[in-house]
Amino acid sequence: MSFRGRVPALFALAMGIVLVAIPVTTNLFGKASDVDDLTDSLRPVFADAALDQADADMTAIEQMAAQLGGEAIPALAVQFGTTPEAFAQQLGTDHPAVGAGMQQLDVILPYFRGIVDGLRAEAGDFRLADAIPTKNLPAIVVPFLFLVPGLVLVAVALVALRRPGSKLVVPVALAIGAVLVVAPLVLSVPAKTQAVDDLTDAFRPAFSEAGRATTHQHLDTVHAMIDQLTSDALPALADRLGMPVADFQAFLGENFPDVASGLGDIDAILGRFDGLVAGVDANASSFRGADSIPTAGTDTTLLHWLFVVPGLVLLLGAAGLTAWGRVRNAAFTPGHVTSLGDEAPERGAQVLDERG
């Protein structure tokens, strides 16, 4: 087979190798597995019921803190014949974890409110990202969408190189090219990959090492504050007022219902936040993998073009090879060759006449 005759097969072989190389060189298999691990873990967090619960938990803590600082402490200060500032200072001196927590609530509560509101805001992006490539297929399928067409092209090309009469190369290249261009649009890949970028941009700080350390620090502060408040501070205040703890709790419930309700639910609330933070810790590595698709430092939207560009090259290349083949066939048809042969004697006679 001449080199010209091998061009279509060599073209298909090269494009097949490119398609196979894309998921291999970008470690797309490992990263897609990270995406599946991450979405499996976060799917319950983004459920409507879980989002509603997180919002309710955050609201309960905010209302408890607001009533504690704005109403309960001033009222208790009156009971002890002092100012709210002096009472709060003495409370912090006697119970340092309570004092430290109350001083930091203005920072801690907005921090966790931002996380809760961020979950709500990114729920739509999560659902889109969770549907890559489709709602019923896991993300691990994505690298095979490069690998399988690539291997098909390589196989067809090798067959064509061994069997010169094979005419499968161009039709297969056209078909695969069309699929690579059209399928991402049908599957809404541009919108889904943009959703991944929006999602990772929103939660990259929370999944970072510094972000996770800050979250743990704030949550530990709240835990220490609540533990000391319920086990030491409130019983001590009840004792100073000459009231049994049960009566003091009833007093709080009657006069400061948000404080009493928050303290009653606080163990369950903090338990849910502990679970959320543990999930972030457990999936930090998976998040880094998902955040580096197709490569670290590039947007996930590039994945769409890794389908489209090879697809367009295949379509244009196959179309060009088809046109080139038709030109070659026309140039070497028997009729065309005969016409050239018929003209040759006449041209030779004309030259002899001119010389004569």
Percent of the chain, pLDDT > 90? 84
Q: How many CB atoms lie within 10 A of CB 301?
A: 17
Which letter does DSSP use for residue 298 in this model?
A: S
So what's the pLDDT on residue 332? 52
Average confidence (pLDDT) over 306-319: 96
Tell me the pLDDT band of 274, cut-offs 50, 70 and 90: very high
Q: How does pLDDT run across 21-43, given as a tens digit for each residue?
A: 999 999 999 999 999 999 999 99
By three-state DSSP, how is residue 137 classified?
Answer: strand
340 within some domain = no
Domain count, the chain: 1
Mean predicted lDDT score pLDDT of the chain: 91
So what's the pLDDT on residue 321? 80
Structure tokens given for 261: 């309700």
- Cβ neighbors of 144 (< 8 A, separation 6 or more) are 23
Average confidence (pLDDT) over 74-93: 95
Structure tokens given for 37: 């691990």
355 within some domain = no
So what's the pLDDT on residue 165? 67
Can you tell me the distance from the alpha carbon of 319 to that of 311, in angstroms, rounded to the nearest whole number?
12
155 within some domain = yes
189 within some domain = yes
336 within some domain = no
Give yes or no for residue 327 having a pLDDT over 80.
Answer: no
The domain in which residue 107 lies consists of: 3-329
Nearest to 226 by CA among 60, 105, 68, 97: 97
Average confidence (pLDDT) over 45-70: 97
So what's the pLDDT on residue 60? 98
Q: How does pLDDT run across 86-132, given as a tens digit for each residue?
A: 999 999 999 999 999 999 999 999 999 999 999 999 999 999 999 99
Q: What is the pTM of this model?
A: 0.83
Give yes or no for residue 3 having a pLDDT over 70.
Answer: no
98 within some domain = yes
Give yes or no for residue 7 having a pLDDT over 80.
Answer: yes
354 within some domain = no
Tell me the pLDDT band of 355, cut-offs 50, 70 and 90: very low
299 φ, ψ (degrees, to nearest 5): -70, 150
Q: How does pLDDT run across 183-199, given as a tens digit for each residue?
A: 999 999 999 999 999 99
Q: How does pLDDT run across 130-175, given as a tens digit for each residue?
A: 999 999 999 999 999 999 999 999 999 999 998 876 788 999 999 9
284 within some domain = yes
